[in-house]
Amino acid sequence: MGEADRGETAPRHRLEFYCANGHRTRLSFAVDAELPDTWDCPSCGLPAGLDSENPPAAPRNEPYKTHLAYVKERRSDSDGEALLAEALAKVADRRTPRG
Ligand SMILES: [Zn+2]
């Protein structure tokens, strides 16, 4: 029907991959190629997936873990509550007027 795509070599699948850092990678694959579910982001190296809303999670050895995240991992909820109570008691103690 007069489509002006004669310059195209072969039909291709175009896929977009999204990484957890919000990078978008556009790739095209031959139609007979096996299409990957994930792709390593060329910008940051994280795995990138086809779903922009749910990019693959970063690998476990990611360096940007906060101290709080470590504390939360190590301590149970009850430990956390005890620590919080202790901290509040200290604050209350400090606020109590002396004499
Ligand atoms: Zn990236």
Taken in order of first residue, the domains within the chain and their CATH numbers are 10-49 (2.20.28.270)
pLDDT band at 15 (very low <50, low <70, confident <90, very high): very high
Residue keyed to tokens 């850092």: 21
Residue 81 Cα to ligand 1 midpoint, Å, equals: 37
Residue 21 Cα to ligand 1 midpoint, Å, equals: 5
44 is in an annotated binding site: yes
Predicted pLDDT at 46? 94
Predicted pLDDT at 38? 94
Residue 49 Cα to ligand 1 midpoint, Å, equals: 10
Residue keyed to tokens 């031959």: 30
Which residue from 57, 42, 49, 58 is spatially nearest to 18, judged by alpha carbons?
A: 49
Predicted pLDDT at 65? 67
Predicted TM-score (pTM) of the model is 0.51
23 is in an annotated binding site: yes
Q: What is the pLDDT of residues 49-84, one digit of tens each?
A: 999 999 998 876 656 667 777 777 776 667 778 888
**Alpha-carbon gap, residue 17 to 49, rounded angstroms:** 5
